[in-house]
Every structure is written in structure tokens, then in C-alpha cells.
């Protein structure tokens, strides 16, 4: 007589025990400590007194810091929109590519995950800096044209240490997070629906917007969510590519923990960012459930 998996509690306990212990000890416990710090204040140079105060949260929503939160959300939203605009055609091209070509294209999308983020960011700096590849190519083109029509002294483009460089870096880093969910959704499409739309005279553009995009909405929602959340909390890219006016909320949090030594305030800002993340996930879940309910009708 075969034993039901539901009755094999010892097997589940043995399999679940070590990962659950690791998760509680090295994730939930430190997270709970930082959460407790957000309700305290500095008591001397190294001690933190947890008093249950909400002053840190009240300070975090002051206009100065609220402006940084809003700016970070705007940069993350712009990054997500650009990733969607760029990633959707890429995912569509991979979906309809021949099987052998599709495997290589997916490998190219996955390749950045095999390289450290710091190395990729420094590679981008090498491209964008004053003596980088773009400015060198621009100087070569300038010199070529200058021989025909004098243009004056060459001035390199300022491509680094500004908001544009931060957005470009975030798109460069997070584009695979958008392409993969989109490809997963598009690859499951019923191709006969596209053929039917074309046979009925809809044309490729109308088929794309009236058939493909609505059917790919679950993938779009997933891609938007898993692109927006990491972009909102990005630290390394704004720190290396941005200037004094390009700092995002994660950089402010880092300064509270490292330079200002104000751990309670940094903890409060960290959890405000986490609360925003939970809200975004909840909104996505509610919208997904609503669309599922409408589809069932």
C-alpha cells in the first residue's frame, strides 16, 4: 500500500527543517532586530535604546526625505517603462525565433547574471567616461567631419555622474528581469489566435496591440513588478554612475548606517522602503486576482 505524501510528515520535516532554520536564523531574526531598531534612538556612541518611538518614521516622511522617496520612485518607474519598451520587442523576437536561435538568444539574455554587478557597472563606466569608447568614437567622427567643414574645438560629452547615467545604468542592469517574464508569457500564447487575427484582416500592428499585448498582460505585470522593486532600492548604480543630485533612497539609507551612525533612522527608512515594496506586491496580487475573476466569468 502506497503511503500518501500528506501522511509522510517526517519526510517533509526533514526536508524543510534545515532551510527553515537557516531562513529564521540568518534572515528573519536580523530583520526583526533592524525593525526593532526603527523604534529606538541612539543611546551613546554604540548603544541603541528601543523605546517604541515613532519619531524616526515621522522624520523619514519630512519633505526633504519624502522628496528623495518620490524621486527614487520616479527613476524606478522610468527605468521600468524603458525596460518594458525595449524588452517587449526583444521577448517577441525570441518567441518567434527558430528553435536553435532561440536557445542562443536566451543565453545572451541570461549571460549578465553570470557576471558580478560591480564588474558590469565598471564596464559601463569605461564606455561612458570622458575618455571612454563613446567619446572616443564621437571624437573620431568629429575629426573626420572637421576636415570637410570646420567645427571648432572638440568637446567631449558629459555622459557620467548625472541622472541620465543612472537611468541608463539601471536599464542596463534590470533589462533581463523584464525580458524573461515577457518571454515566458509570450511563449505560451496560442499562435492560432494570431493567425486568425491576421486572416481576418487585422494586420500585424493591430494584432500586436489587440491580441498579443492583452494576452501577455500577466507577463507584463510580473516583469514590471520584478523590475520596479529592485530599481527602487538600487544602491550601487546611483552610487557609481550618479552625481551629487542623483542619489536615491538606498544611498541615503547607507549613509545613515555608515557615516551618520544613526541606525534607528536608517532602519526606519529601510522599512518604509520595504512597506512600499509590500504595497506594490499587494496591488499586483489584487489586480491579478481581479483579472482572473473576470476571466472566469
Task: Note the pLDDT of residue 291.
Answer: 63
CA 95 to chain centre: 23
50 pairs with which residues across the strands? 40
| pLDDT score for 5 | 56
Rg of the chain taking only CA atoms, in angstroms: 25
Calpha distance 60→268 (Å, rounded): 7
User: Which residues lie closer than 8 Å to 162 by C-beta, 6 or more apart?
Assistant: 242, 243, 245, 246
- In angstroms, the Cα distances linking 237 to 152, 169, 171, 293 are 35, 6, 10, 40
How far apart are the C-alpha atoms of 296 and 33, rounded to whole Å? 44
**Dihedral through CA 85, CA 90, CA 93, CA 94, nearest 10?**
-140
What distance in Å separates the CA atoms of residue 23 and residue 21, rounded to the nearest whole number?
Answer: 5
Report the pLDDT value the prediction gives residue 4, as an integer from 0 to 100. 60
User: Which domains are present in the chain?
Assistant: 53-110+160-291 (1.10.3720.10)
Closest CA relative to residue 184, chosen from 151, 126, 149, 223:
223
User: Assign residue 237 a region: left if phi > 0, alpha if psi is -120 to 50, beta otherwise?
Assistant: alpha
Residues in the chain, overall count: 297
Q: Is the dihedral of CA 216, 221, 222, 226 positive or negative?
A: positive
* Alpha helices per DSSP H over 117-216: 117-128, 133-148, 163-187, 191-199, 203-207, 213-215
Farthest-apart Cα atoms in the chain, separation: 90
d(CA 81, CA 228): 9
C-alpha distances in angstroms, 224 versus 76, 147, 150?
10, 48, 47
Q: Cα separation of 60 and 49, whole Å? A: 19
Angle made by CA atoms 161, 179, 121, in degrees to the nearest 5? 25
* CA–CA dist 165, 125 (Å, integer): 9
Grouped pLDDT means (10 residues each) for the chain, 297 residues: 60 82 92 93 83 92 92 94 95 90 91 89 92 90 82 84 94 94 90 83 84 89 92 92 89 90 93 88 77 58
Amino acid at each position: 500500500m502506497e503511503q500518501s505524501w500528506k501522511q509522510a510528515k517526517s519526510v517533509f520535516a526533514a526536508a524543510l527543517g534545515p532551510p527553515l532554520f537557516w531562513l529564521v536564523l540568518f534572515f528573519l531574526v536580523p530583520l526583526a532586530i533592524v525593525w526593532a531598531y526603527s523604534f529606538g534612538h541612539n543611546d551613546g556612541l554604540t548603544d541603541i535604546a528601543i523605546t517604541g518611538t515613532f519619531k524616526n518614521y515621522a522624520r523619514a516622511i519630512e519633505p526633504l526625505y519624502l522628496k528623495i522617496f518620490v524621486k527614487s520612485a520616479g527613476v524606478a518607474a522610468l527605468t521600468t517603462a524603458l525596460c518594458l519598451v525595449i524588452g517587449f520587442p526583444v521577448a517577441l523576437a525570441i518567441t518567434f525565433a527558430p528553435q536553435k536561435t532561440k536557445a542562443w538568444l536566451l543565453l545572451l539574455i541570461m549571460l549578465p547574471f553570470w557576471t558580478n554587478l560591480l564588474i558590469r557597472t565598471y564596464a559601463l563606466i569605461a564606455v561612458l567616461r570622458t575618455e571612454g569608447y563613446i567619446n572616443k568614437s564621437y571624437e573620431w567622427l568629429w575629426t573626420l567631419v572637421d576636415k570637410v567643414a570646420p567645427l571648432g574645438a572638440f568637446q567631449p560629452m558629459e555622459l557620467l555622474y548625472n541622472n541620465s547615467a543612472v537611468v541608463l545604468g539601471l536599464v542596463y542592469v534590470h533589462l533581463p528581469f523584464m525580458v524573461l517574464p515577457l518571454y515566458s508569457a509570450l511563449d505560451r500564447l496560442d499562435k492560432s489566435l494570431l493567425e486568425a487575427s491576421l486572416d481576418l484582416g487585422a494586420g500585424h500592428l493591430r494584432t500586436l496591440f489587440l491580441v498579443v499585448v492583452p494576452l501577455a498582460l500577466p507577463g507584463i505585470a510580473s516583469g514590471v513588478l520584478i523590475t520596479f522593486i529592485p530599481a527602487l532600492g538600487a544602491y550601487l548604480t546611483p552610487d557609481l554612475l550618479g552625481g551629487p543630485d542623483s542619489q536615491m533612497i538606498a544611498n541615503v539609507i547607507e549613509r545613515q548606517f555608515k557615516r551618520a551612525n544613526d541606525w534607528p533612522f536608517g532602519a526606519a527608512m529601510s522599512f518604509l522602503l520595504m512597506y512600499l515594496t509590500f504595497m506594490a506586491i499587494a496591488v499586483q496580487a489584487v489586480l491579478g486576482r481581479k483579472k482572473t475573476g473576470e476571466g472566469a466569468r
